[in-house]
Every structure is written in structure tokens, then in C-alpha cells.
């Protein structure tokens, strides 16, 4: 299982970055809330950096939330794609020139998501697909602590669409490996069939990722989104 730990967001003045897909995630969180009061309290906890490190893995995210003298543990779940849907998602990525490069660059093009949906696969979850638990005594799920974590997961999704894909059960490394396998299989099965678009896009994406890893300040994190 792949797991990625994201550091605590630090509060700062100004707005945080958002994308159309993170706004869609935000609407899902809002629809999950039992009351406006809980939603407001959760967003307030998120903004004041009450949420600790968030660990994201296939279909799951976990984080502590500080409130007063107490710390609570929130676990959230997202319905994972089954094997057939995962294979279809990979095929849709491979079918479009530049799609993997866009994902690696932190973009989730709307036409790509539409193509995924047309194939019968839902990438963006709806409220009923999310599950929640919290160690607090609140009787409803999600409680304000869960809503705080869910809000910050939306910030992660805004910065990197692979967070969303991981929550659907497909890690970035696995996706890249499957794309490479598809390209190799097509090239071997039918010599002369052009797979240049996939190979070129994948190579460009991997090169861009390596450059970013070398040049990016490791201490900067993603708190510029807050």
C-alpha cells in the first residue's frame, strides 16, 4: 500500500489556491455536513492549522486534530475503484496525448474528467462515497474535526490531482508503471503502430517531475495554498 504524509498547514494571510476539482471536492464536504454550524466550525479548525500531518493512502486518509487541550484522530475513507474501473481509468489517461503530463504538472483538465465519466468511471466522489470516524464523542459523522480534515484534503487535491487518484485506489507510481506497460505492449504486439504520443508524454512528465524534485525547496511544502 502506498502512503504519503503531508505536513501540517501553517496559517498565513491571504487566500489559498483553489481549482475547479478542489471546489468540487469542497462541495462534497459541504454536502456531507449535518449542519451549517458543524461545517463552519470544521473550516475554522482547518484555517487555524488545528489539523496535523495528513497521511493519504489508497482509499483512506488519517490525521490528528487539536482542539483546546485535546487531540482527536480522524479517519476518512473514499470508495475505491474496482479493478475494471481502475483499468478503464488507465486506458483513458493513455488515450489522450499530454494527459499524463498535465497530471504531473498538477492539472486535472476538465475534458479528461469528462472522458473518464463517459467511460463509466467516477473520479470525483460524492458525499455518499465518503466514510468518517473520529475519536471525539460527537454522535454524528462527520463531526467538526472530520470536516476540518476533509477541508484540508481538498487543499491537497488542489495542489496535486494525484492525491485524488490515490484516494480512488491508484498510486502515482502504479499509474506510471501501467502506462509504461501499455506502451511496451502496444509496441511489441504491433510493430509499426505509433505509440509516440504516450511515450513522449510520459517521458516529458517524468523529466518534469525529476526537475521539480531537484529544484524545489524541500522546506517550502504546500502551505502557500493556505
Pairing of β 130-134 and β 70-78: antiparallel
Give pLDDT, residue 68.
93
CA distance 75 to 64: 9
CA distance 184 to 173: 16
Give pLDDT, residue 135.
97
What the block records as the C-alpha cell of 210 is 525529476
Residue bearing cell 502557500:
224
- Separate counts of helices (H) and strands (E) for the chain: 9, 5
**8-18: average pLDDT:** 65
| 204 has a pLDDT exceeding 70 | no
| 193 has a pLDDT exceeding 90 | no
What the block records as the C-alpha cell of 76 is 476518512
R_g (Cα) of the chain, nearest Å: 19
What separation, in Å, do the N-terminal and C-terminal C-alpha atoms of the chain show? 29
DSSP string, 118-187: HTT---S--GGGEEEEESS--SSSS-HHHHHHHHHHHHHHHH-HHHHHHHTT--HHHHHHHHHHHHHHHH
Domain ranges, ordered by start, for the chain: 3-10+17-214
The beta-strand segments (E) located in 19-107 are 54-57, 60-67, 70-78
Nearest to 65 by CA among 86, 41, 82: 41
**152-178: average pLDDT:** 95
CA distance 149 to 135: 13
| 194 has a pLDDT exceeding 60 | no
Report for 73-87, 94-108, 188-202: range of highest mean pLDDT: 73-87
Give pLDDT, residue 96.
83
25-74, pLDDT tens digit by residue?
999 999 999 999 999 999 999 999 999 999 999 999 999 999 999 999 99
Give pLDDT, residue 2.
83
CA distance 17 to 95: 29
Give pLDDT, residue 181.
87
Give how far Cα 222 sits from Cα of 75, 108, 147, Å.
Answer: 22, 18, 20
Give pLDDT, residue 185.
56
Give pLDDT, residue 53.
96
What pTM value is reported for the model? 0.81
| 186 has a pLDDT exceeding 80 | no
Amino acid at each position: 500500500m502506498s502512503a504519503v504524509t503531508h505536513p501540517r498547514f501553517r496559517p498565513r494571510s491571504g487566500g489559498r489556491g483553489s481549482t475547479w476539482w478542489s471546489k468540487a471536492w469542497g462541495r462534497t464536504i459541504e454536502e456531507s455536513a449535518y449542519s451549517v454550524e458543524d461545517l463552519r466550525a470544521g473550516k475554522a479548525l482547518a484555517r487555524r492549522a488545528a489539523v496535523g500531518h495528513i497521511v493519504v493512502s489508497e482509499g483512506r486518509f488519517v490525521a490528528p486534530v487539536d482542539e483546546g487541550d485535546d487531540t482527536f484522530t480522524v479517519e476518512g475513507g473514499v470508495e475505491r475503484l474496482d479493478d475494471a474501473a481502475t483499468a478503464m481509468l488507465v486506458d483513458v489517461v493513455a488515450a489522450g496525448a499530454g494527459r499524463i503530463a498535465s497530471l504531473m504538472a498538477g492539472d486535472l483538465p476538465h475534458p479528461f474528467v469528462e472522458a473518464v465519466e463517459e467511460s463509466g468511471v467516477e473520479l470525483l466522489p460524492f458525499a455518499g462515497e465518503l466514510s468518517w470516524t473520529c475519536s471525539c464523542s460527537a454522535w454524528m459523522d462527520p463531526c467538526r474535526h472530520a470536516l476540518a480534515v476533509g477541508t484540508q484534503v481538498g487543499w491537497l487535491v488542489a495542489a496535486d490531482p494525484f492525491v485524488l487518484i490515490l484516494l480512488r485506489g491508484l498510486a502515482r507510481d502504479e499509474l506510471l508503471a501501467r502506462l509504461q506497460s501499455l506502451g511496451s505492449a502496444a509496441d511489441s504486439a504491433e510493430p509499426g503502430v505509433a505509440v509516440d504520443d504516450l511515450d513522449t508524454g510520459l517521458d516529458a512528465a517524468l523529466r518534469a517531475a525529476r526537475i521539480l524534485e531537484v529544484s524545489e525547496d524541500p522546506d517550502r511544502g504546500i502551505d502557500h495554498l493556505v
